[in-house]
């Protein structure tokens, strides 16, 4: 049997300090029936555009008619890969992954794509999401003799596939996907086939495209990754759908009987890039609509609207347009401050916020400011930003949040603080307002969030209302 050739690049730690819900992961894949001269470089470009979804590790597996080569390492896409080497890597298919560790520690062993041998041939797998029954399944597999090389829940999927391999490709995937529970968007190379699967609720995003003027099919977590490789968006993968792409073309199957859409609302609020289209919806439009709705929650007189870069900016523009209060760039983000590291004391952590964002004094001095952000998690960053604006001369700072109060953790592939760490579970709105030292505080209501996304659809709102779609 062929073996996977893995090139490990130097490890670089990337433990991130953030007052946000952390990104999950991003996946990318492409396939053609004939060898593609720049297949690895195209995968690199796709992952580069998905960098916002995970900064801990990156990996690419290239397939050349069933033979797999994997390149992966710790750090950003630009740090992990040697582009000169990738340009000359020939194959007919590739899958890629950028990772933020929601399950499993941050180390090289957990970097994806993961690899295994089976009677179906070599398997490479990349996963975005989180399995809520992973621990139970892992224990069962270990009792059956399975050996695990990582602490990632994604390896559970790999072992289940290998265990069911004698059933044949389609049935093995179908049985595996009906056994795991939670959120998952998968891209896999098995033999000479590219497979894509989305969970029965469509919690995690996955879309299909095709490079213009070619027969190359492309799969990605977000449509922005299609744009960078010159691919047109065809459609989103449906909840409970399995795609198998091989020399016969593209074939679609339904592996789940009971499906209904429950897309993650945070994809629209925060995670996805504003230039992406998810399940037919323009992310920019959703965020702009959320900002418009936010103005009507409780209008306040002000002189300028500013947004917290980057994900609060579009909502701030919507707020400005609806309120007729001028929008201005009041905070500048350092583009070279990509990641901030865990620091030993609160004073240094506060300093890290100042390194990332700096107020425009001439924009806010003597002004009543509306400060718009996408979410409020712990409140520490909001508190520091308001302090910085006041130091820059702001007369008033009114904080507006383009999402509802976050009161419950998420278990579907988002790294959320515990319930005890969420500020909205520990304080009333008035107490939060006092803590962050704002003149006023308003959140987007759940109803307005649903209206902004589209009330004709179903979305996962568990972080706001505690109603979890998937039970362990």
Instruction: Measure the CA–CA gap between 109 and 247, rounded to whole angstroms.
Output: 32
Strands 396-401 and 182-190: unpaired
Give the CATH fold of the 282-465 domain.
Rossmann fold (3.40.50)
Helices (H) and strands (E) in the chain, counts: 17, 24
Using alpha carbons, select from 338, 304, 294 the residue that is nearest to residue 324. 304
Res 208: pLDDT: 98
Instruction: Measure the CA–CA gap between 371 and 368, rounded to whole angstroms.
Output: 10
In this prediction, the residues of the chain whose per-residue pLDDT falls under 70 are 1-23, 101-106, 336-352, 411-418, 455-457, 468-472
Res 367: pLDDT: 98
DSSP string, 377-442: SSSHHHHHHHHHHHHTT-SEEEEEESS----S---SS-B---GGG-HHHHS-HHHHHHHHT-SEEE
Q: Taking each helix axis as running N to C, give the angle between helix 313-323 and helix 283-297, from 0 to 180 degrees, rounded to the nearest 10.
A: 50
Instruction: Measure the CA–CA gap between 17 and 33, rounded to whole angstroms.
Output: 43
Using alpha carbons, select from 233, 107, 121 the residue that is nearest to residue 166. 121
Residues 6+ apart with CB under 8 A from 362: none
- Measured between alpha carbons, how far is residue 302 from residues 88, 329, 402 in Å? 56, 15, 18
Question: Candidates 3.40.50.720, 3.40.50.970, 3.60.20.10, 3.30.300.20; correct CATH number of 13-260?
Answer: 3.60.20.10
Per-domain residue ranges for the chain? 13-260, 282-465
Q: Which two tokens stand for residue 143?
A: 């009792």
Residues 6+ apart with CB under 8 A from 441: 398, 399, 400, 401, 429, 432, 433
The residues assigned a catalytic role are 25
What is the reported pTM?
0.89
Q: Is the dihedral of CA 288, 293, 296, 299 positive or negative?
A: negative
Res 310: pLDDT: 86
HSE-up of residue 124 (Cα within 13 Å, Cβ side): 34
Residues 6+ apart with CB under 8 A from 440: 298, 300, 398, 399, 433
Residues 6+ apart with CB under 8 A from 74: 9, 10, 11, 12, 13, 14, 56, 57, 80, 106, 107, 108, 111
Angle at CA 158, nearest 5°, toward 153 and 164?
A: 130
Res 229: pLDDT: 97
CA torsion 212→217→223→229, rounded to 10°? -50
């Amino acid at each position: 049997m062929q073996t996977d050739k893995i090139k490990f690049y130097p490890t670089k730690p990337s433990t991130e300090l953030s007052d946000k819900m952390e990104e999950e992961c991003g996946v990318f894949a492409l396939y053609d029936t004939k060898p593609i001269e720049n297949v690895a470089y195209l995968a690199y470009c796709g992952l580069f555009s998905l960098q916002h979804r995970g900064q801990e590790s990156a990996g690419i597996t290239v397939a050349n008619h069933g033979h797999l080569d994997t390149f992966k390492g710790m750090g950003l896409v630009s740090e992990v890969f040697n582009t000169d080497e990738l340009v000359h890597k020939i194959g007919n298919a590739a899958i890629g992954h950028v990772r933020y560790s929601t399950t499993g520690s941050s180390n090289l062993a957990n970097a994806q794509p993961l690899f295994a041998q089976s009677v179906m041939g070599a398997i490479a797998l990349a996963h975005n999401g989180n399995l809520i029954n992973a621990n139970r399944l892992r224990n069962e597999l270990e009792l059956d003799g399975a050996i695990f090389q990582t602490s990632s829940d994604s390896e559970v999927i790999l072992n289940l596939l290998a265990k069911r391999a004698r059933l044949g490709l389609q049935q093995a995937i179908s049985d595996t996907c009906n056994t795991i529970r939670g959120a998952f968007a998968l891209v896999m190379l098995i033999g000479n086939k590219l497979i894509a699967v989305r969970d029965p609720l469509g919690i995690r995003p996955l879309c299909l495209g095709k490079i213009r003027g070619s027969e190359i099919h492309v799969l990605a977590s977000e449509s922005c990754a299609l744009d960078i490789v010159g691919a047109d968006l065809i459609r989103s993968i449906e909840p409970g759908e399995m795609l198998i792409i091989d020399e016969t073309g593209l074939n679609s199957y339904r592996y789940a009987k009971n499906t209904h859409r429950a897309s993650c609302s945070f994809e629209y609020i925060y995670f996805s890039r504003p230039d992406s289209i998810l399940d037919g919806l323009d992310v920019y439009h959703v965020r702009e609509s959320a900002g418009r709705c936010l103005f009507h929650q409780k209008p306040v007189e002000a002189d300028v609207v500013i947004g917290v870069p980057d994900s609060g900016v579009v909502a701030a523009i919507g707020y400005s347009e609806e309120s007729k209060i001028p929008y201005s760039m009041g905070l500048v983000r350092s583009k070279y401050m990509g990641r901030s590291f865990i620091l030993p004391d609160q004073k240094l952590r506060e300093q890290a916020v100042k390194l990332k964002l700096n107020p425009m004094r001439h924009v806010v001095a003597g002004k009543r400011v509306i400060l718009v952000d996408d979410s409020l998690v712990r409140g520490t960053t909001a508190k520091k930003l308001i302090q910085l604006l006041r130091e820059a001369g702001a007369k008033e700072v009114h904080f507006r949040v383009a999402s509802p109060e976050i009161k419950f953790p998420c278990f579907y592939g988002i790294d959320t603080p515990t319930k005890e760490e969420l500020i909205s579970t520990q304080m009333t709105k008035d107490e939060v307002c006092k803590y962050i030292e704002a003149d006023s505080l308003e959140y987007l209501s759940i109803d307005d969030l649903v209206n902004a996304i589209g009330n004709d659809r179903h979305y996962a709102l568990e972080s706001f209302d505690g109603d979890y779609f998937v039970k362990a």
